[in-house]
Copies of this chain bind each other. A is one copy, B any other.
């Protein structure tokens, strides 16, 4: 069991009730990373389902949970032949912090009928790491994963944003681990906010994030291709398409978030 597997464990204590312990190692400044929190919720949702994979996950981020004990409550809504539907709620101190809807199904290996070509990425050798965060920054998440960025998309770090919402990087866990649906939940929310590349700064809280698991990833590096379509009135969208090491589209996400004021 990897540290990530352990940090996302959900222990069933009653029908539809799971104890979890939110790990301080997945923080982005103060708050915990939303992708990590979704992974925790999905452990419980899949355990409670007759199917194996979380094919659709929606999370509304009501309130930022803190590291420490919490519960995931699963309320099954319907189980059909192909898919099952459930509510999933992350509760801390008796208060709902994340409200989710999860659809589970069992994905099979299949040759795609159609697959859109991926965006171009330079080779990993041409990509660059972010500088290590300052020790007191609370960015503990960075140590859990390796990200190698397409250089122009982190030009904002040295004051050269591209002017478009975008972020592209290779991704893998720092501790060797084959990607699985829970790693993908982390991956779809692992990039710096795409608005940084359009000149924005500061904490950009996610309001809602929906992602779809489309195939089980092959071992190896993932490629995260992030972009956005509109920044307006303090709101932006961020889309991430995840490709596995074989180039297969394995996950798609879109989040609606607020532009930071920092």
The interface of chain A, by Cβ under 8 A from chain B, is: 55-56, 58, 60, 62-63, 77-78, 82-83, 85, 87, 96, 99-101, 103, 105, 107-116, 163-165, 198-200, 207-208, 210, 212, 214-215, 228-235, 237, 241, 249, 252, 254, 256, 258-259
Contacts and interface: CB of A to CB of B under 8 A. Distances in A.
B85 A256 contact: no
Contacts of A164: 114
B103 A208 contact: yes
A10 to B, nearest CB: 21
B77 A60 contact: yes
A163 to B, nearest CB: 8
Given A62-B78, A237-B252, A116 B229 contact: yes
What is the total number of copies of this protein in its complex? 2
Given A229-B252, A232-B113, A101 B103 contact: no
Given A56-B256, A115-B231, A212-B256, 6 more contacts: A56-B60, A56-B207, A101-B208, A116-B228, A212-B254, A229-B249
A170 to B, nearest CB: 20
A63 to B, nearest CB: 7
A246 to B, nearest CB: 13
A112 B165 CA distance: 13
A110 B207 contact: no
A254 to B, nearest CB: 6
A107 to B, nearest CB: 6
Nearest to A97: B78
Given A228-B114, A232-B113, A77 B96 contact: yes
A207 B198 CA distance: 34
Given A56-B207, A62-B77, A107 B252 contact: no
A238 to B, nearest CB: 11
Contacts of A235: 55, 105, 107, 214
A62 B56 CA distance: 13
A85 B33 CA distance: 20
